[in-house]
Amino acid sequence: MDKKTVKRGLLPYLFIALVMLGMFYFLNVTNRNVNILSYDEFMTSLNSGKVSEVEVTARANGYTYEVRGTLKSYEEGETFLAKLPLSDEVMKKIVTASEKQEFKLTAEEDPDSSSFLYILVNVMPLLLLLLLAFWFFNKQLAGNKSSMDFGKSKARLNSDTNKVTFKDVAGLKEEKEEVKELIDFLKNPKKFQKLGARIPKGVLLFGPPGTGKTLLAKAVAGEADVPFYFISGSDFVEMFVGVGASRVRDMFQQAKRNAPCLIFIDEIDAVGRQRGTGLGGGHDEREQTLNQLLTEMDGFGANEGIIIIAATNRPDVLDPALLRPGRFDRQVTVNLPDIKGREEILAVHARNKTLAEGITLDNLAKRTPGFSGADLENLLNEAALLAVRRNKEEITMSEIDEATDRVLMGPAKTSHKYSENDRKLVAYHEAGHAVIGLKLSNANVVQKVTIIPRGTAGGYNMMVPAEEKLCSTKKDLLEQITGLLGGRTAEEVVFNEITTGAHNDFEKATKIARAMVTEYGMSDLGPLQFEQQEGSVFLGRDYNRSQHFSNEVANEIDMEMRKIINNCHKKATEIIKKNEDLLKLIADALLEYETLTKEQIDYLVKHGKMPEEDESNLEAMSVTKLRELAKEKGIKNYSKLTKAELLKELDA
């Protein structure tokens, strides 16, 4: 909002303030230094000869004499006001006293007897205020009309000149095929009507956040070249009862006027949650809004040419009435992209970025399993920002590695100094994970190991699956648990001590073990599912977990989980003890370099030493080499500086 707009908005308020101030000043002036006398006080002053001047006005409407004047004791400008009964006797007393005392007596005509004067004095100020208020109200409505349109839809018509098409949507091959029929219908509905085909009235897109649900809906509208209305589910709900239902009706009315068109409702779970689970029962505002939406989609009114696309991360909480045929006929799952999809997504976001030679998108795709489209876009953007910060003309692998760590774990705490003992503990802990990953064929592959603290972690070990699988075998899960226990096992073997650093590893391992026993049937208890999510939802939260087993079975589940964890821990111990030399080799390299990539680890395992250091890449150098360079440049206290501090000093 610019300054001119702010000034224009303040003018009505300033004008009203000035009027009120003027009226206050007028009333204050007119009533200043006026003493109110009672009947007895006036008559006493009159009889004692204290009155110097009197002006009498007969008020016919009030049946009183209004007497104004001055007393001999008053200062200049001081007056009195008294109201006396309207009678001949009172007037006779005033006239008699005037003749005896010889003070000035004036009789005035009642101004109320003149209708014009009465209106001017009494009615006009009020009328002026009413006119001013009416003008101000209309002015505000003209400037912010939506402020009073509670029942109007907040659906916004997408008028972007750069329309989104399927070319802008990377991956999602199957998902795009599912919605292509909608485009054909919007372009040529008669083709479908000839054969009696009924196009789906609604399509529900569900999947994890950032997978491209909104982008896919925009692409459908862009490909069909039809108006695209978009609204969030929360925009329907207000504190006033009936507002949401009114907005739904208005939205469909707008859509009918612009048919054929597409309506996109994002986060529909905000208004489409299962009925009967909130407070207020059927009179709940959210439920009334949902009922109106169901009615509009059901087709009691003609909604020809209107297609609704909705998106949600929680399809499990939606009301079943929304998902039946005739409403959201088609449900499309938008999952996290696979390796091919990630490569395509990276190609889209890398179009306007300068990548260094040697960086391949397929390699980046392999290093980013579990990343959504939004995560990949953020990854390349963070890498570009880092390159600018480092005054580079292109994005190198160093920036991409750092950006990956930022997305997953947060920025590095380079200023946080640990003792040598803590650094050694963290180095052996992370080296333990790496050794298990190297020695087990089904364990996750080590992509990067660092002892630089990030977030709440003192170190970080990036391990990804060797290949993406649709299903995990029992052996896969057991070796994943073994890999997670590798850090704690290394601490036990090397230091004969344990620390709190493995709490996150235990959390993940326990979760996998419990799922193996209670959900996947991968234990001696047999192929049974003991736990499942409760279907009922209260206020949007799943509070209960259904347990179809006795207390005795619960004890057996705990024993089976303990057996899985203990066996994996035993296996991890065997591997660590058998490969203590490799463990020490990786740990020493971590203490010297702080960060090891997959290529460096592979070279270290094969040759027993780190590869030759490239002096053009300071970040890949050891602390020892950096201190030698710092010594040559004459940097003070170089021997006490951390690697991050050395890099900062050398770059300066």
List active site positions. 430
* Bridge partners of residue 266, in order along the sequence: 232
Instruction: Give whole-number Cα distances, 215 to 177, 259, 627, in Å.
Output: 15, 21, 50
* CA–CA gap between residue 318 and residue 430 (Å, rounded): 43
User: Is-contact 497 443, C-beta < 8 A?
Assistant: no
User: Is-contact 336 364, C-beta < 8 A?
Assistant: no
Residue 499 is encoded by which pair of tokens?
């620390």
Residue 498 is encoded by which pair of tokens?
């344990």
Residue 355 is encoded by which pair of tokens?
């990548």
* CA–CA gap between residue 70 and residue 74 (Å, rounded): 7
Check residue 274 and report its DSSP letter: P
Residue 469 is encoded by which pair of tokens?
């699988």
* Bridge partners of residue 547, in order along the sequence: 531
Grouping H, G, I as helix, E, B as strand and the rest as coil, residue 16 is: helix
* Bridge partners of residue 546, in order along the sequence: 532
* Residue whose token pair is 């008669």: 190
For 112, residues 6+ apart whose C-beta sits below 8 A from its C-beta are: 59, 60, 61, 118
SS (H, E, C) 140-207: HHHHCHHHCCCCCCCCEECCCCCCCCHHHCCCCHHHHHHHHHHHHHHHCHHHHHHCCCCCCCEEEEEC
For the chain, the first-to-last Cα distance in angstroms comes to 41
User: Is-contact 302 345, C-beta < 8 A?
Assistant: no
Residue 42 is encoded by which pair of tokens?
């006036």
* Residue whose token pair is 């004067």: 117
The sign of the torsion formed by the CA atoms of 339, 315, 218, 330 equals positive
Give 3-state DSSP helix, strand, coil % of the chain, rounded to 5: 55, 15, 30
Residue 481 is encoded by which pair of tokens?
């648990």
* CA–CA gap between residue 453 and residue 416 (Å, rounded): 8
Q: How many CB atoms lie within 10 A of CB 369?
A: 17
Instruction: Give whole-number Cα distances, 463 to 56, 292, 398, in Å.
Output: 103, 49, 18
* CA–CA gap between residue 484 and residue 206 (Å, rounded): 31
